[in-house]
A = this chain, B = another copy of it.
């Protein structure tokens, strides 16, 4: 339920009410919309709590039930789009967020080459995997902390933000100490323990859609992070699993306008995993931008065929540069 407070209620009075609700075992969130405070009761409600009770509170002007299960990720509590500010970069604002870099961090040199190139071509965030979720336990599992160090240096030198995946709660603090944005991979989208822990870091989280997650499940996964009090969630569509065997995944471009309809969170698109086919990355990046995506995430490598992982879907520096030129003409 959402309690819309009277116009004359101050922030401290509102906070007092939140504390009182907490004491009643009702978890709630305070927010402001159009200069008026509102308190969203997100859990603890049960049959014993009667709505009339809240209407009788002197601070409350009006109450409104939630229609959607994703209370904090949805638009009922927050109608305008969220803009996530990270240092001097905004995700969800006017400017397109462009995350680019190799699938796996392979060497110091590789990261510097890529970072310097993609920064010049217009990227603002460097991506790279240090702990890799691999289908086979026998495949390259990543360079770990060494890789994170390379990425941090390369990103800073080129005035880029950085993003990397966390797979294991034991690595959470480590990864958080090196990168600006923590990524939850598609396979961990419903790893609820990890979602709760990652939320508590307060860092911006890039949450990838699970291979067969519905929009509702995707937003409920975001909700796990948001309810820890961390509002900085970026949704990432990265292709879903369908019957079609040609492409690795079916990139669901409609997820962009639909998630924007359902949620205030920024939505970016990963055309690399989304298709798994190098040649399809640029056209699908254009499609994502045309559909209104707040950003793209692309796998780029100086020598794609020698990429340690995901070689088939990794584009070259030259292709990235051409792609960025065309995207800049589109927007």
Chain A interfacial positions (CB closer than 8 Å to B): 42-43, 69, 71, 133-138, 167-170, 187-188, 190-194, 196, 211-212, 214-217, 220, 223-224, 227, 240-247, 250-254, 256-258, 261, 274-275, 277, 279-280, 283-284, 286-292, 330
Q: In the complex, A292 Cα to B290 Cα: how many Å?
A: 12
Q: Assess whether B214 is in contact with A245, with CB atoms less than 8 Å apart.
A: yes
Nearest CB in chain B: distance from A212 CB, A:
4
Q: Assess whether A137 is in contact with B246, with CB atoms less than 8 Å apart.
A: no
Assuming the A-B contacts A137-B192, A191-B191, are A279 and B261 also in contact, with contact meaning beta carbons closer than 8 angstroms in the complex? Answer: yes
Nearest CB in chain B: distance from A46 CB, A:
11
Nearest CB in chain B: distance from A247 CB, A:
6
As for how many copies of this chain the complex holds, the number is 4
A42-B138, A137-B227, A211-B212 given; 8 more Cβ-contact pairs under 8 Å: A138-B227, A167-B193, A187-B191, A240-B244, A247-B254, A254-B284, A257-B280, A330-B330
Nearest CB in chain B: distance from A23 CB, A:
19
Q: Assess whether A136 is in contact with B220, with CB atoms less than 8 Å apart.
A: yes
Complex partner residue of A169 from B170, B211, B258, CB under 8 angstroms: B170
Q: Assess whether A257 is in contact with B283, with CB atoms less than 8 Å apart.
A: yes
Residue contacts A-B, CB under 8 angstroms, 21 given: A42-B138, A43-B138, A71-B138, A137-B220, A137-B223, A167-B192, A188-B190, A212-B212, A214-B243, A214-B244, A240-B243, A242-B250, A247-B254, A247-B258, A250-B250, A251-B253, A253-B253, A257-B279, A286-B290, A287-B287, A290-B290
Assuming the A-B contacts A212-B211, A246-B215, A291-B287, are A133 and B257 also in contact, with contact meaning beta carbons closer than 8 angstroms in the complex? Answer: no
